[in-house]
Structure 1
Amino acid sequence: MTSTPALRQPCPPGACDCGREQLLDNPNSDARILLLTRAEETRLLERLENLESLADLEKMQQRIYAQLGVRIAVAPGFNEVRSMRGIGIQLDALPGLCRKTRQAIPTAIRRALEKRPEIAYGLLNANDLLRDT
């Protein structure tokens, strides 16, 4: 007896532009993102807020891509980085990814960077921005 995994409940009509219905209608589409239920999303956001190091952030980026198909790019912005707002966090556009989730993931990562500035320094150093200091 096999059980189907729980899928994310649909957003209220007009509240989101995730394209969940189109994703479910297309049999060739990657529906892994729908496995991120609201409870799992809460666990993911808590985990992202409590990152320990730059290696931990990179590991989470890889796991999120492997399990959900969402690519997250975290890099210093084009201008001078004076605060955590100067670090760009981009999620690939993906059908089925809820609007609130697209906003919550970067917010959780920024909170982690504010809690542990050494992660941000490591990120800047990895992009050769602190090479002369």
Structure 2
Amino acid sequence: MPITTSSPPIRQPCPPGTCICNRDALLDNPAADPRILLLTQHEEKRLLARLENCASLDDLRKLQQRMEQQLGLRTEITPGHNEVRSMRGIRIVVHEQDGLCRKIRQSIPAAIRRGLERNPEVAYELLNEHDLLRGT
């Protein structure tokens, strides 16, 4: 019986003219990191659900590390430069890279904000990590 190896599914291309992800350039460049293309639409939904349901800052940080290890996707979550009065004051950056769809770049910060609104304790831990709640 012959052994067949199948490659993992990769993300379908965006409709022409709707995205600036440079998916084709990523596939054509043998030196590029194609891990981000492993984030299929099904996996994207799972990732967004996990981001929304993080129960602690430690869980959120571990998920950030796993996204970087498995997909090469780097994110930064820090308090904004000005006063933080709501979840909008928390700065969430998804670093651009070839193959990363514009839609995903927008949906990841939105999912993190929904998770912070659902679990404000995580936001307080984030603020305390940066000494913003030092005496309270």
- TM norm structure 1: 0.99
SS of residue matched to 1:129:
coil
CA distance in 2, matches of 1:93, 1:12: 19
CA distance in 1, matches of 2:128, 2:51: 21
Query: How much identity, in percent, do the aligned residues show?
Result: 64
CA distance in 1, matches of 2:119, 2:96: 28
SS of residue matched to 1:2:
coil
SS of residue matched to 2:32:
coil
Verify: 1:84 aligned to 2:90, yes or no: no
Match for residue 20 of structure 1?
23
| Structure 2 unaligned spans of 5+ | none
Verify: 1:113 aligned to 2:104, yes or no: no
One-letter amino acid of the structure 2 residue matched with residue 129 of structure 1: L
Match for residue 129 of structure 1?
132
- CA apart distance, 1:93: 1.1
CA distance in 1, matches of 2:79, 2:35: 29
Q: Choose 1 or 2 for highest CA Rg.
A: 2
CA distance in 2, matches of 1:7, 1:129: 41
Say which of 17, 33, 42 aligns to 2:45. 42
Between the two proteins, the alignment pairs up a number of residues equal to: 133
Match for residue 9 of structure 1?
12
CA distance in 1, matches of 2:40, 2:74: 18
Q: Could you list the runs of 4 or more consecutive aligned residues of structure 1 that deviate by over 4 angstroms after TM superposition?
A: none
- TM norm structure 2: 0.96
- CA apart distance, 1:55: 0.4
- CA apart distance, 1:132: 2.5
